[in-house]
């Protein structure tokens, strides 16, 4: 039984047709993953399903009375509301029923009131109202919200923490269908495992976009792949689907080349005989061309080629030393003191669950926030480059060309365009508002900012968020080959390896000491 049907969907974005009469059916039991490279239209597809974008052509049909939960990263959070209060809104109807029940008993109830109270009590019991706090804590703990604190003001949460509480509320609501766009971006390994188990046991349907293919392979039973303007549905695990997709792609490419040859020959025939004795035959072939279902051209996909210029410093020189460092805002995040050092060329990964203080440590070392105790010192020859994980822009209507150009006023227009192009962005994307680009494309703009001026110490805070596999591979190669020092934070443990990472600072282990 289908819960969602997409018919003849067509959508143009800039100079590219994302979907060309694409169709898809999602059934009640489908645990569906959406795959495709950066910029093919995965997030746009979700926005069309949720009504945020009106499609150029096509029809979206939902099953009647279907409840849908959507991980809306832009959802408004009320200032002054705690995390626990926000999560309780998932059961607002039950809390209202409980308030009414309390009010009845507080106002000397008569027989009619007691009858109403009985019905309200039945509703509360049927929905396990008195177990709600336990349910809320189970989901909150599973996603790591307990580490932040249930009394924390939701309006003061970071981008990643916001995503987690919105996701937690959706899971507590248990809708018929869930729509998730990159849900693992701000989750560490333990919380990704918990979410995988939850989704595997979810009785409804869900649609998930994720570049974390290990995560997808654990949770899906079907895939909708977006390529060549089409949405192709496959059944099976992700690994099985990738084999099917490779075979289908080869078949498509052969069909496309064959069709283009036929079109070329037909046009040549029409030009040659249109005005001659075979004009009738030429006109007939003209009609055939007009009615031909022309395959979407594969296009020349631009592959990202990242590189980070290096400013040389003497080898084996101490470039950073931290002594008895305590980090946090008003209070320390944990009691233990951090002690570590980095010499020139050394690369270090900071590990620990989400919210433990990895980004806080980076911000402390970069003097964005002050240490609560202790001190740190950089060598005077250090030149720092910093990748900040949040996709926040001063002006969402500014283009990548304008944003990067303003950051590097000494660079000419040609160099700005060339560097942005090396990240895999097209000329159209470079000159389009940043808000119109996908998360992966926006991440590439931020990486481009580090590709102009030489540095010798990179701070990379979750740089793989939103990137597809090919872009991650290019970034991994660039960071591995970078001669300078580096501190890396990433929740993707398979992104790095011991052959290019020299040391690991595991805050979680330090906290347990």
Q: What is the pLDDT of residue 317?
A: 86
DSSP alpha helix (H) spans, 291-365: 358-365
State how far the Cα of 298 lies from the Cα of 92, in Å rounded to an integer: 49
Q: What are the pLDDT digits (tens) for 216-237?
A: 999 999 999 998 888 999 998 8
| 77 Rama sector, left if φ>0, alpha if ψ -120 to 50, beta otherwise | beta
DSSP alpha helix (H) spans, 222-321: 238-273, 279-290
Per DSSP (E only), the strands in 313-465 are 318-326, 338-343, 347-351, 373-378, 384-387, 457-461
State how far the Cα of 52 lies from the Cα of 10, in Å rounded to an integer: 16
State how far the Cα of 410 lies from the Cα of 506, in Å rounded to an integer: 40
| 324 Rama sector, left if φ>0, alpha if ψ -120 to 50, beta otherwise | left
Retrieve residue 344's tokens.
């020139």
Distance in angstroms between the alpha carbons of the first and the last residue of the chain: 54
If you write DSSP's letter for every residue of 71-127 in order, what string do you get?
--TT----TT-BHHHHHHGGGHHHHHHHHHHHHHHHS---HHHHHHHHHHHHHHHHT
State how far the Cα of 368 lies from the Cα of 284, in Å rounded to an integer: 71
State how far the Cα of 318 lies from the Cα of 40, in Å rounded to an integer: 45
Q: How many CB atoms lie within 10 A of CB 291?
A: 6
State how far the Cα of 63 lies from the Cα of 447, in Å rounded to an integer: 42
In the chain, count H helices and then E strands: 17, 17
Q: What are the pLDDT digits (tens) for 264-321?
A: 988 888 888 877 667 788 888 888 888 888 887 766 567 899 999 999 987 778 999 9
Sequence-ordered list of residues with C-beta below 8 angstroms from that of 376, at least 6 positions apart, any chain? 320, 321, 322, 323, 325, 364, 365
CA 437 to chain centre: 13
Q: Provide the CB-side half-sphere exposure for 143 (13 A, CA).
A: 30
Buried b (16+ CB within 10 A) or exposed e, 201-210: ebebbbbbbb
Q: What is the pLDDT of residue 301?
A: 65
Residue 440's nearest CA partner among 477, 419, 405, 470 is 470
Q: What is the pLDDT of residue 389?
A: 85
pTM, two decimals, is 0.74
Per DSSP (E only), the strands in 268-393 are 318-326, 338-343, 347-351, 373-378, 384-387
Phi, psi of 245 (to 5 degrees): -65, -45
Retrieve residue 8's tokens.
């003849």
Cα–Cα–Cα angle for 472, 477, 478, rounded to 5 degrees: 95
Q: What is the pLDDT of residue 392?
A: 83
Retrieve residue 1's tokens.
């039984």
State how far the Cα of 268 lies from the Cα of 188, in Å rounded to an integer: 59
Residue 462's nearest CA partner among 213, 161, 185 is 185
Q: How many CB atoms lie within 10 A of CB 503?
A: 12
Rounded-to-10 torsion of CA 403, 14, 16, 30? 80
Cα–Cα–Cα angle for 355, 361, 363, rounded to 5 degrees: 105
Q: What is the pLDDT of residue 513?
A: 66
Residue 165's nearest CA partner among 177, 148, 181 is 148
Residue 465's nearest CA partner among 186, 194, 166 is 186
Q: Are strands 68-70 and 177-181 parallel, antiparallel or unpaired?
A: parallel
State how far the Cα of 353 lies from the Cα of 496, in Å rounded to an integer: 17
**CB contact at 8 A, 448 and 390:** no
Phi, psi of 447 (to 5 degrees): -65, -40
Q: What is the pLDDT of residue 277?
A: 66
Tens digit of each residue's pLDDT, the chain (513 residues): 799 999 999 998 877 788 999 999 999 999 999 998 877 888 889 999 999 899 999 999 999 999 999 988 777 788 899 999 999 999 999 999 999 999 998 888 888 888 998 999 999 999 999 999 999 999 999 998 888 889 989 988 877 788 899 999 999 999 999 999 889 877 878 888 999 999 999 999 999 998 888 899 999 999 999 988 889 999 988 888 888 888 888 888 888 899 899 999 888 888 888 776 677 888 888 888 888 888 877 665 678 999 999 999 877 789 999 999 999 887 888 888 999 999 999 999 998 877 778 889 999 999 999 999 999 999 999 999 999 988 889 999 999 999 999 999 999 999 999 999 999 998 889 999 998 888 889 999 999 999 999 999 999 999 998 888 889 999 999 999 999 999 999 988 889 999 999 999 998 888 776
Distances (CA, A) of 5 to 98, 297, 307, 433: 39, 26, 43, 31
Taking each helix axis from N to C end, the angle separating 159-173 and 132-142, rounded to the nearest 10 degrees, works out to 140
**CB contact at 8 A, 301 and 286:** no
Q: What are the pLDDT digits (tens) for 314-345?
A: 777 899 999 999 998 878 888 889 999 999 99
Q: Which domains does the chain have, with CATH numbers?
A: 1-77+157-298 (3.40.50.300), 80-151 (no CATH), 318-512 (3.40.50.300)
């Amino acid at each position: 039984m289908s819960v969602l049907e997409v018919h003849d969907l067509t959508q143009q974005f800039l100079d590219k047709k994302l979907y060309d009469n694409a169709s898809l059916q999602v059934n009640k039991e489908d645990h569906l993953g959406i795959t495709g490279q950066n910029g093919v239209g995965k997030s746009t597809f979700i926005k069309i399903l949720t009504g945020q974008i009106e499609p150029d052509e096509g029809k979206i049909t939902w099953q009647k009375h279907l409840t849908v939960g959507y991980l809306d990263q832009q959802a408004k959070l009320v200032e002054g509301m705690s995390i626990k209060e926000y999560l309780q809104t998932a059961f607002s109807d039950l809390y209202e029923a409980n308030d009414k029940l309390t009010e009845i008993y507080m106002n000397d109830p008569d027989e009619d009131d007691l009858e109403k109270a009985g019905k309200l009590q039945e509703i509360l019991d049927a929905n396990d109202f008195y177990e709600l706090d336990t349910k809320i804590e189970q989901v909150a703990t599973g996603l790591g919200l307990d580490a932040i604190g249930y009394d924390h003001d939701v309006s003061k949460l970071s981008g990643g923490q916001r995503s987690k509480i919105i996701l937690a509320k959706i899971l507590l609501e248990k809708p018929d269908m869930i729509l998730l766009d990159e849900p693992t971006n701000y989750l560490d390994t333990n919380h990704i495992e918990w979410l995988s188990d939850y989704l595997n046991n979810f009785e409804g349907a869900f649609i998930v976009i994720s570049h974390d293919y290990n995560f997808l392979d654990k949770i899906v039973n079907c895939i909708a792949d977006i390529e060549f303007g089409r949405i192709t549905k496959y059944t099976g695990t992700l690994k099985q689907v990738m084999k099917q997709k490779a075979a289908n792609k080869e078949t498509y490419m052969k069909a496309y080349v064959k069709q283009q040859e036929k079109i070329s020959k037909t046009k040549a025939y029409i030009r040659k005989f249109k005005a001659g004795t075979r004009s009738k035959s030429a006109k007939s072939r003209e009609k055939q061309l007009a009615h031909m279902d022309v395959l979407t051209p594969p296009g020349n996909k631009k592959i990202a080629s990242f590189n980070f210029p290096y400013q040389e410093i003497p080898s084996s020189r101490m470039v950073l030393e931290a002594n008895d460092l305590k980090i946090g805002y008003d209070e320390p995040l944990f009691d233990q003191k951090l002690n570590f050092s980095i010499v020139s060329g050394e690369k270090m990964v900071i590990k620990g669950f989400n919210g433990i203080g990895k980004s806080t440590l980076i911000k402390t070392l970069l003097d964005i926030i002050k240490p609560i105790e202790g001190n740190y010192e950089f060598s005077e020859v250090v030149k720092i480059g910093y990748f900040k994980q949040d996709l926040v822009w001063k002006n969402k209507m500014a283009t990548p060309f304008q944003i990067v150009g303003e950051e590097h006023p000494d660079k000419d227009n040609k160099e700005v365009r060339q560097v942005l192009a090396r990240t895999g962005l097209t000329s159209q994307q470079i000159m389009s508002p940043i808000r119109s680009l996908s998360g992966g494309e926006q991440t590439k703009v931020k990486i481009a900012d580090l590709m102009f001026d030489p540095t010798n110490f990179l701070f990379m805070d979750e740089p793989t968020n939103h990137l597809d596999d090919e872009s991650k591979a290019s970034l991994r190669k660039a960071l591995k080959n970078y001669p300078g020092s580096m501190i890396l934070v990433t929740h993707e443990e398979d992104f790095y390896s011991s052959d290019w990472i020299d040391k690991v600072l595991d805050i979680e282990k330090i906290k347990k000491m």
